[in-house]
Amino acid sequence: MNALRESYGQEIDQILAKYPDDEKRSAVMPLLFVAMRKDGYVNKQDLEDIGEIIGRSSTDVASILGFYTLFHDKPEGKYRIQVCNDLPCALRGADEYLDNLCDNLGIRPGETTEDGVVTLEAVMCLAACDKAPMFQVQDYNGVAYHENQTVESTMQLVESWRAEGGKDA
Amino acid sequence: MNLYNPLKVVPPLVTGLWTTFKSTLKKPVTIQYPEVKRPVRERYKGRHELKRYDNGLEKCIGCALCAAACPADAIFVEASENIDEKRFSPGERYASTYEINMLRCIFCGYCEDACPTEAIVLGDNYELSFTDRSQAIYTREMLLDPVPAGGEPTPREVEPGSFDRSIPEMKDPA
Amino acid sequence: MTEAVENQVEEQAQPEEKLVTLTIDNIEVSVPEGTVLVDAAKKIGVDIPVFCYHPKMEPVGMCRMCLVEVGRPVFDRATGEPVLEEDGSPKIQFGPKLDTGCTVEVSEGMVVRGYTEEVVDARKEVLEFLLTSHPLDCPICDKGGECPLQNLTMRYGPGTSRFIFDEKHHAAKHVPLGEIIYLDRERCIQCARCTRFQDEVVDDPVIGFSQRGRSLEIVTFSDPGFDSYWSGNTTDICPVGALTTADFRFGARPWELKASASVCNHCPVGCNTTVNTRREAKSGGELVIKRMMPRQNEYINEIWMCDKGRFAHHYTQSEERLTQPMVRNEVGELEATSWEAALDLVAEEFKAASDGLVTLAGARLSNEDLFNIQQVTEKLGGKALQNTHMAGGELVASVGVGQGSNLSDLGEGDAILVVASDLEEEAPLYWLRIKQASERGATLVVANPRDTKLSSKANYELRYSYGEEAAAVMALLGSISPKTPGESEAVKKLSRGQEVKDAATAISEANNLVVLYGNEGTGLATSQSLADACANLLVATGHVGKANNGLIAVWDKGNTQGAYDMGLVPSEDLAADLMSAKAAYIVAADPAGDDATLAEAIKAVEEDAEKFLVVQELFLTESAKLADVVLPVQANTERQGTYTNAERRVQIFYPAVPAPVNVHADYAVAANIAERLDLKLQKVIPAQVMAQIAETVSDYAEVSYTKMAEVEEQWPIISSEDVFYGGTSYENEQGMGQQLQPASQGGESPALSFAQVADAPKVDGLLAVPVTRLYDRGSTVVPTELLSERLTPTSVVLSPDDAEKLSIEPDAEVTVKLNGTETKAQARIEAGVPQGYVLVPRSVGIALNSPSPVEIKA
């Protein structure tokens, strides 16, 4: 049966209610967010479930999932460090900072540390050029900006997350 | 009438004999083939060879462009799929059958020009003789160069993903 | 009266399209309003290069390859008069930028220039962009040689690139999208032709784009991957080598292939195909079929074909083929012998059997074969039977679609009724063309006991129980003309709903009506009454005897219609017929393999020393194993012949590969037997057999190989020179076939009795009903290894409710007790199946000729 509907039935109905009967497929974006809540990513079963709910093929749902960078289709770190390396930030040393951070964490941008605590990403402008190098951490609780960073300060933060227990916390 | 005039006959005869006499003193141009062989010219077009890379992999990827370019329709190529466990050449494709009919070949070298990997090269060997028409068909095994020192024979097992391109990566011409 | 006249005027006015005149590259052309520039240019032989545009799909303007200069006449705002140049010609205002020729529609007085420096530069730059990361794969790419990107680069592209080498983008090669189609991500130029084809044309959106920009890739999330019957077509229209088939992978370079025209015989559509062959060292230098490609015929398959037709050709060159005639010796074993000896024996035994001869022919045979076989049987006074469970061949001959019909002509104001057919499974191309007709505005009425893929396109969906097929049609007819006599319970019940009444109104108001009936859940008897009912409906509404009106039977085999036309009839009780035979002549059929009860009958024939069994086949089938004489024959790729499709279009197929030395065509074998029976039949040239058919069978009087080989101009214009436009589908140079005239079109008024309408059979337990699946386990499909994972397993399909009642898990193994036999089968559970019924796919290992009670045990 439709596992997604079983877990979030009421919420899904509320979402669907916002769209006219013949345009239920428009509900795909909010439904993807719902599906991502539990594990932070959308798995293949979720795709099929969403497809079934809105009457589209799972491939259709997958192409929407793939198009947007804020939807994820594989398990990733608990904390998503998004470093801005757009031009103004790069001029303030963001590129160098990112390279060093990569070396320290032992991963490349787009990858996740082995303990599953951190996923590192390079992103475009976060509107904090004056306080670069900077990064944001984004999750369901909101967005946290960490500005004027050095590799040392970031690593301290990462260590504190690790101390919290990483993924299982 | 003139033939009986000694003045008209003798001088040319002497000239001729003088030439002969001069030649007897010269070093002969003939050689004792097959014991002795004359080296061929640099751009001589002899029997084809299928080249290998230094690591022993075959350069030929079975694209059949040589067969397409061949004005005598002397080449027959059949391709198959390479797998990492049984690799003949870099990339996805290799020539599982490669035949040249030397009776049809006119040694024009178009195949060489058409080859995208410089796999087929017209070599120095001109000693092509057969006692049977079917012997004139040179197969892949006959045409392939021996494995160079340090290389491994084909087919061979390679690390997955290490030879994923058929055509060598082009260098920046700039 | 006045109303009728008005209608007529309207009808006449409809086909007149408004023409627009414009100038393209200094050539004036008039095309219908709404045509896009690329198509208009194509009509006068001017090529505007394209990648993403395809004439069979909606334009999207993604690739920018078709950029041209477009100018429009200037009009004086005050007077509305066109402004003139000094020389008196209209002033043309060109756009500030280039326009895409695939999205701009023609307008009056428009001037298009595709040769200016600006346009040439634009094309060069678009190609430079596309080639930034396109790999240097042409030598090893299966598309190389028939590749739009390659061709257009040679014609319009730059010789060098200005892009930085190190930034060349590398992506995964050889990504399987399922086991049939491979994706090379590097080669993809993101034109979306494949995804649009799957979505727009065949309604199977199982591939899509994921990611964006340079990371864009084609993905599939279906199970199995790229789960569509149409996947092969995407490789035809892919303008690069990004999508290729596993079947042809590195098979040959396109220029090395020989092409030969053929006609597919897997289903009654009769798709035109081209067989590509090449000599192969792996097969000892034999000419081998490398691939099947669609051949354009806008009356039949347009430029498409289904995957079964494309890939299931391997049986023709299977190792298992019979190569010499065999006769059963004293020890009871089949022993190779000469044709002379075998035929002498057959003729002698046939003569002895005389009118005790029973002939059973399968409809994968050509008309020529069937004719000669029928003639042999008739000469002796025997019974000529064909192996089918569908009735109505005479009705189609009488009220079939009229000469000049083309399903593509159906649209607004027309109606189509599809009864008892899972059309995509039974005849994929009919599904496609009916779906397209519905999209053009034709009213589609689908009557079926469960949802099929066509249901989503239906304007009216009629539900009935299995067994009430004819009743459903009679209910429609009853709503149109209340005089319909002899109403049964079922008809009364089915007439009640509003849907039926609305559908009946729509049908009665339609300009043209085509009725298709299939074989979903029908046996021979129900098929007969269904065909009768459909014919009744057509005659009562006056939709017979003209083009685009009439009956189409979605036959179970490729040439069933031809078999009917040649005088072969289905047997009501095949087992009894076989038992009663003194000699049985079985051609291209395997009753023993199909059905255990028939196997018993055949065994009885075999065991009886008095009786004689001849099997004429490609393979040593179960029936052949029991035969006294086995005669090997040629496959349809090895010889010439004709098939008659369900619309009664007779088409020629040509030999593509040489036949094995010691086997002959079916018509020749039959003619050789005939010769020994003092009957003169043509045995050398199929065209001569056809001449004899034309003399004997009145419907075929006009048919000749010359006329069938005629071609006409088709739109879109497909040719090998410009693969960028229509794809690699082959141009039709070998003939469009000849459509027969149904008797009703010849002025004969069809004599019809009203259909015998039965009520749905009542059973206490479950009722098993036969259904058709495209990928069955027939002897012509199984030898194709590529499809092995997709073939329908030996299975039955249950409704979720029944499965729960019997506590059967999905895909569990169950025992099926049917007609006295027990079979192990996989239980599949599908939501659409009506409760109380078990669907039994045909030709997958469980024999079922007509609905029967069944017992399922977990």
Number of structural domains chain A divides into: 2
Smallest Cα–Cα separation from C45: which of C70, C24, C71? C24
**Tell me, what's the pLDDT at A117?**
87
Q: What percent of chain C has pLDDT over 90?
A: 82
What CATH code is carried by the domain that includes residue A31? 1.10.10.1590
Would the CB atoms of C282 and B166 count as touching at under 8 Å?
no
A96 and A56 assigned to the same domain: no
Q: Which helix (H) or strand (E) holds C199?
A: none
- List, in sequence order, every residue forming a beta bridge with C515; answer none if it has no partner: C417, C551
Top residue of C133, C140, C141 to mutate, by most chain B CBs within 10 Å, is C140
User: Pairing between strand B93-101 and B137-138?
Assistant: antiparallel
| Model confidence at C350: pLDDT above 60 | yes
Amino acid at C347: A
Q: Are residues A90 and A151 in the same domain?
A: yes
pLDDT of residue C487: 66
Q: Which of C9-23, C109-123, C719-733 ranks highest by mean pLDDT?
A: C109-123
Separation of alpha carbons C462 and C433, rounded Å: 21
**Confidence at residue C435, expressed as pLDDT on a 0 to 100 scale:** 97
Q: Mind listing the pLDDT tens digit for each residue in C151-176? A: 999 999 998 888 877 778 889 999 99
DSSP assignment string, A35-65: HHHHHSS--HHHHHHHHHHHT--HHHHHHHH
Name which of A82, A89, A74 is nearest A138 in CA terms. A82
Residues of C with Cβ-Cβ distance to B78 under 8 angstroms: 252, 280-282
Q: pLDDT band at residue C486, thresholds of 50, 70 and 90?
A: low
Show residues of chain A in contact with C214, CB under 8 Å: none
Q: Which of C150, C250, C290 to mutate to test the interface with B (most CBs of B within 10 A)?
A: C250
- pLDDT attached to residue C16: 62
Structural domain range at position A26: 3-67
CA angle C547, C548, C552 (to 5 degrees): 110
Asked if pLDDT for residue B172 goes beyond 80, the answer is no
pLDDT digits (tens, 9 = 90+) for C500-512: 999 999 999 999 9
Residue C220: helix, strand or coil by DSSP? Answer: strand
Q: Is the pLDDT of residue C12 over 60?
A: no
DSSP state of C198: I
**Do A61 and A83 lie in a common domain?**
no
- The domain defined by C22-156 carries CATH number 3.90.170.10: no
> Rounded to an integer, what distance in angstroms lies between the CA atom of residue B164 and that of residue C708?
50
What pLDDT score does C275 carry? 97
Q: Would you state the structure tokens that stand for residue C600, as one six-digit string?
A: 């018993």
Q: Is the pLDDT of residue C660 over 90?
A: yes
Instruction: Report CB contact under 8 Å: C139, B166.
Output: yes
Choose among C648, C750, C739, C751: nearest CA to C399: C750
Domain annotation covers residue A73: no
Joined together, the tokens standing for residue C169 give: 């983008």
In a domain, A121, yes or no: yes
pLDDT digits (tens, 9 = 90+) for A51-94: 999 998 899 999 999 999 888 888 888 888 999 999 999 999 99
Please report the pLDDT score of residue C3 as a whole number.
Answer: 42
Q: Which residues of chain C form CATH 3.40.228.10?
A: 393-554
pLDDT tens readout for residues C422-468: 999 999 999 999 999 999 999 999 999 999 999 999 999 999 999 99
Is the model's pLDDT at C192 over the cut of 60? yes
User: Quick one: A123 and A152 in the same domain?
Assistant: yes
Residue C718 has pLDDT above 80, yes or no: yes
Q: Is B158 on the interface with C (CB under 8 A)?
A: no
In whole angstroms, what is the distance from residue A114 CA to residue C471 CA?
67
Q: Which residues pair with B172 in a beta bridge?
A: none
Q: How much is the pLDDT for A140? A: 67
Contact between B97 and C282 using a beta-carbon 8 Å cutoff: yes
- pLDDT, mean over chain C: 92
Chains that touch C (3 or more CB pairs under 8 A): A, B
Is the CB of residue C722 less than 8 Å away from at least one CB of chain B? no
- Provide φ and ψ at C152, rounded to 5°: -70, -30
Rounded Cα distance between C599 and C605, Å, is 10
A59 contacts C207? CB cut-off 8 A: yes
> pLDDT category, C1, cuts 50, 70, 90?
very low
- Comma-separated ranges of CATH 3.10.20.740 domains in chain C: 22-156
Contacts with B73 (C-beta within 8 Å, 6 or more apart), sequence order:
B67, B104
Secondary structure letter of residue C792 according to DSSP:
P
Residue A72 lies in a domain: no
- Residue-wise pLDDT tens digits, C379-430: 999 999 999 999 999 999 999 999 999 999 999 999 999 999 999 999 999 9
Query: What is C167-317's CATH number?
Result: 3.30.70.20
Cα A23 to Cα A28, B4, C322, C746: the distances in Å are: 10, 119, 58, 50
Residues of A in CB contact (< 8 Å) with C are 44, 47-48, 56-63, 65-67
> What is the CATH code of the structural domain delimited by C766-857?
2.40.40.20
Inter-chain residue contact A59 with C212, CB threshold 8 Å: no
CATH number of B48-143: 3.30.70.3270
Q: How far apart are CA C593 and CA C591, in angstroms?
A: 5
Q: Which residues of chain C have a CB within 8 Å of the CB of A67? A: 209-212
Q: Do C165 and B67 touch (CB under 8 A)?
A: no
Is the predicted ipTM greater than 0.90, yes or no? no
Whether residue C2 has pLDDT greater than 60: no
Q: H/E element holding A112?
A: none
* Token output for C682: 């043509």
* Length of chain B in terms of residues written: 174
- CA distance to B145, C489, C490, C517, C533, per residue, from C475 (Å): 80, 11, 9, 15, 10
**How confident is the model at residue C228, as a pLDDT?**
96
For C264-279, what is the mean pLDDT?
96
Contacts of B69 in chain C (CB under 8 A): none
Q: Is domain C326-388+563-708 given the CATH code 3.40.50.740 in the classification?
A: yes
The CATH homologous superfamily of the domain defined by C393-554: Dimethylsulfoxide Reductase, domain 2 (3.40.228.10)
Task: Report the half-sphere exposure of C318 (CA within 13 A, side-chain side).
Answer: 20
The pLDDT confidence band at residue C7, using thresholds 50, 70 and 90, is very low
Check residues C453 and C490 and name the one with the higher pLDDT.
C453
Task: Give the model's pLDDT for residue C484.
Answer: 63
- Provide the shortest C-alpha distance from residue A61 to chain C (in Å): 9
Amino acid letter, C413: G
Q: What is the pLDDT of residue C162?
A: 87
- DSSP symbols for C527-542: HHHHHHHHHHHHHHTT
Last residue of a domain, one of A23, A46, A67: A67
d(CA C675, CA C344): 10
Spatial CA neighbour of C665 closest among C351, C368, C246 = C368
Per-domain residue ranges of chain B = 48-143
Indicate contact of C with B: 3+ CB pairs under 8 A: yes
* Confidence band of C4 (pLDDT split at 50, 70, 90): very low
| Residue A62 and residue A86 in one domain | no
Please give the pLDDT value at position C604: 82
Q: Do C173 and B170 touch (CB under 8 A)?
A: no
Q: Is the pLDDT of residue C357 over 50?
A: yes
Mean pLDDT score, C563-579: 93
Instruction: Identify the segments of chain A with pLDDT beneath 70.
Output: 1, 140, 165-169
Q: How far is it, in rounded angstroms, from Cα B35 to Cα B53?
A: 32
Q: Is the pLDDT of residue B1 over 60?
A: no
Q: Report the C-alpha gap between C700 and C696 in whole angstroms.
A: 8
Nearest of C148, C578, C573 to residue C389 by alpha carbon: C573
Q: Which amino acid is at C175?
A: V
C282 touches chain B (CB under 8 A): yes
For C666-688, what is each residue's pLDDT tens digit?
999 999 999 999 999 999 999 99
